Amino acid sequence: MRVKVTTPHLGEGQFPTFPKSTPVNLIGETSDDHFLHWWACDIDGHSTYVPEHYLHDGKLYRDYNPTELVQQTGDVLQVREIAFAWLYATNDKGVSGWIPAEVVVSL
């Protein structure tokens, strides 16, 4: 699925990709509507969020990179995955990351 960015998104910095089975220190489930079914956590010394379905027995169920895409209005993205109200997408430069679904429209 292709989407177009309607509102700029700045993200919160770059993260490494954490391999499957990396331990996750859960801080708590978020109550913010933008992060329903996501958990605030610490992964290998990095404070971030993780979708609940990526977790199993306190570890990552699969490889995971929490980096958010930095995108401007009008940018077109290819959606790779949908996790609740967030999309994991790739831009035209081949860079992948997370972006909130509320800042894009389907093409």
Tell me: the pLDDT tens digits for 49-62? Answer: 999 999 999 999 99
In angstroms, rounded to a whole number, what is the distance separating the alpha carbons of residues 60 and 25? 10
Average of per-residue pLDDT values in the chain = 94
pLDDT confidence tier of residue 35, bands split at 50, 70 and 90? confident
* Architecture, CATH, for domain 2-13+67-106: Roll (2.30)
The pTM score is 0.92
Predicted local distance difference test score (pLDDT) of residue 91: 96
pLDDT value at 12 more than 90: no
- Cβ-based neighbours of 77, under 8 Å, separated by 6 or more: 2, 3, 4, 5, 69, 71, 87, 89, 90, 91, 99, 104
Residue 22 near residue 74 (C-beta atoms within 8 A):
no
| Contact between 37 and 84 (Cβ < 8 Å) | yes
- Three-state DSSP class for residue 102: helix
Structure-token pair, residue 14: 């770059």
Domain extents for the chain?
Answer: 2-13+67-106, 24-60
Report yes or no: 97 and 65 within 8 Å, Cβ to Cβ: yes
Higher-confidence residue of 36 and 45: namely 45
Rounded Cα distance between 77 and 4, Å, is 6
